[in-house]
Structure 1
Amino acid sequence: MITSLAYLGVRSPRSEDWRRFGEGFLGAELAADGPDGSVRLRVDDAAWRIQVHPAEQDSVAYFGWAVDHEEDLDVVLERLAAAGVTAERGSAELAEARSVNQLITFTDPWGFPHEVSWGQHFYPATFRPGRAVSGFVTGTQGLGHVLLMMPDIEAGHRFFHDVLGFKLSDKIIVPGQLNARFYHVNERHHTLALGQCPPGVAVFNHLMLQMKSIDDVGSAHDMLDEYDVPITLSLGRHTNDKTFSFYCATPSLFNIEVGFDGIEVNEEWVPYTYGAAAIWGHKLDPEAKNRPPGIVHPLAN
């Protein structure tokens, strides 16, 4: 079924700030604006991968997942219906707006909006990075990974694993501090992570972009002050996927992890449980404690 994270859309009152942040800091390419004036960013030959719509407040517009075959959309619809989740086929106009051939839409039990698409538009040999970087790891691994936080992580596991088919890569459990699950749908160690958060809210915490060179991570880290980008977690290396990275705030509340050298998994992968999130580094910046953990929305009673 789902084989990658194809695209991401958010709404933000600071959508225009993404032009400088996305192109100059991240090294993405600015694509033509969306019909509503949204800022679209490319990190490979896909028409676009990140879209930031102008709005009065920050919110998640959609997580766009991909399937390999158009028939897989029917399977997703059937599984969602069996789980009591209403899903709809998107119109031709919506598919065109997302630069895909066809898609379905649904909202999960925690209020996150999702789209599952087939036939993402690609334009071979056209990607031009916004600054001097070696590029982003995409291809069959998709855009990267996202971390979603919810009060009942076991219910989250049942939905994303049992219903949508995400495969468990491992867990990180630090009693009283962290309870997280990591899931793969391709060779990327994880395309989705779930984390436990306090009752009453759900959070989109971060998007990870994997660079092709350690120097791409280092050069971005060097530009934090120049681009006035607040750091969230210092340089470090994760225990589970071994990614070398740092985390920073975006103009739209959620964070971006800029990473390199994440391990890959295969069909023989055996899940592990870790007692720490980092081998070294990834220290929370004191100023980050005063910011929201991402885009937060209240849960319905």
Structure 2
Amino acid sequence: MISALSYIGFASPHADDWNDFGPDVLGAQVADPGPDDAVRLRVDDFDARITIHPGDHEELAYLGWDVGDASGMTAAVARLADAGVTVTVDHDAAALRRVTDVQSFTDPFGIRHELSYGLAEAAPFVPGRPISGFVTGDGGLGHAVLIVPDLDAATAFYADVLGFKVSDDIEEGGLLVRFFHCNPRHHSLAIASVPGMVGVHHLMLEVGTIDDVGSGLDIVNER
């Protein structure tokens, strides 16, 4: 079953800006571009985990979830099929993401998800600016927070169908956020419910030291 957030893709009319923002602000390493001139960013010794595709709107394109291996893929696909979810083998996506296999589906809110395993290793990671590095490993890329209109429906899908475990709920300013985990991270996914809205709120990347956070904040404040 799902063990980590492996990669994520966005679309943006300003995708090219990430060639500077990725290394100069985040500290990511720019990888070879995709065939659609997508900007591909590395954060560890694996191939690109963050891809920004040229597009007409700023939006989430897909979330890639690691299922570990072929048996994990079989189990995850079977669980989705039992719930009546259509899963599609996508060889083209596998080649583009540089993984062994991709099988994709959409959640009840129209968000594309990709089950995958075998993310290709690459040359040793070289940060785009001086930082100690990103914390990935068994915890995966980090976490993503999604906005959907129905928290109960989201919980039923992500917990009951995909197998995520609920970590806890936090309510602040009238907004209830539910956190889900699939590995030792407190959460790899969180869901906030906002009527009439579907999309991504943020992506979290963990760095090695508080100084990495502080230097990033300094750069943002200077830009």
The one-letter amino acid of 1:67's match is V
Specify the alignment match of 2:210 in structure 1: 214
Specify the alignment match of 1:73 in structure 2: 73
Specify the alignment match of 2:18 in structure 1: 18
User: Which structure's residues are more often strand, by fraction?
Assistant: 1
Report 1 or 2 for greater relative contact order, CA contacts < 8 Å, sequence distance ≥ 6: 2
Specify the alignment match of 2:90 in structure 1: 90
Specify the alignment match of 1:43 in structure 2: 43
Q: How many angstroms apart in 2 are the aligned matches of 1:182 and 1:57?
A: 27
Q: Does 1:106 align with 2:105?
A: yes
Query: 1:24-173, aligned counterparts within 5 Å?
Result: 24-91=24-91, 93-123=92-122, 126-173=124-171
The alpha-carbon deviation at position 64 of structure 1 amounts to 0.5
Specify the alignment match of 2:201 in structure 1: 205
The runs of at least 4 aligned residues of structure 1 exceeding 4 Å deviation read none
The alpha-carbon deviation at position 225 of structure 1 amounts to 3.0
SS across alignment from 2:69: coil
Q: How many angstroms apart in 1 are the aligned matches of 2:111 and 2:56?
A: 18
Q: What is the identity percentage for the equivalent residue pairs of Structure 1 and Structure 2?
A: 48
Could you tell me which runs of 5 or more consecutive residues in structure 1 were left unpaired when the two chains were aligned. 228-301
SS across alignment from 2:221: coil
The alpha-carbon deviation at position 169 of structure 1 amounts to 0.9
The one-letter amino acid of 1:43's match is V
The alpha-carbon deviation at position 69 of structure 1 amounts to 1.9
Q: Does 1:181 align with 2:178?
A: yes
The alpha-carbon deviation at position 173 of structure 1 amounts to 2.6
Indicate conservation of the 8 Å contact 2:67/2:76, yes or no. Answer: no
The alpha-carbon deviation at position 217 of structure 1 amounts to 0.3
The alpha-carbon deviation at position 201 of structure 1 amounts to 2.2
The alpha-carbon deviation at position 60 of structure 1 amounts to 1.7
The one-letter amino acid of 2:134's match is F
The alpha-carbon deviation at position 220 of structure 1 amounts to 0.5
SS across alignment from 1:34: coil
Query: Alpha-carbon deviations, 1:73-117, whole Å to 9, x = none?
Result: 1222111122221111112x3211111001100111101111010
Specify the alignment match of 1:190 in structure 2: 187
Q: How many angstroms apart in 2 are the aligned matches of 1:148 and 1:61?
A: 12
- Residues 180 and 128 of structure 1: is their aligned pair in 2 closer, same or farther, counting only changes over 3 Å? same
The alpha-carbon deviation at position 123 of structure 1 amounts to 2.5
Query: Alpha-carbon deviations, 1:161-180, whole Å to 9, x = none?
Result: 01001111111134x61211
Q: How many angstroms apart in 1 are the aligned matches of 2:69 and 2:53?
A: 29
Q: How many angstroms apart in 2 are the aligned matches of 1:152 and 1:56?
A: 27
The one-letter amino acid of 1:38's match is A
The one-letter amino acid of 1:183's match is F
Could you tell me which runs of 5 or more consecutive residues in structure 2 were left unpaired when the two chains were aligned. none
Q: How many angstroms apart in 2 are the aligned matches of 1:34 and 1:170?
A: 38
TM-score by length of 1: 0.72
What is the aligned length? 223
TM-score by length of 2: 0.96
Specify the alignment match of 1:267 in structure 2: none
Specify the alignment match of 1:251 in structure 2: none
Q: How many angstroms apart in 1 are the aligned matches of 2:103 and 2:218?
A: 41
Q: How many angstroms apart in 2 are the aligned matches of 1:159 and 1:5?
A: 17
The alpha-carbon deviation at position 151 of structure 1 amounts to 1.6
The alpha-carbon deviation at position 134 of structure 1 amounts to 0.3
The one-letter amino acid of 1:44's match is D
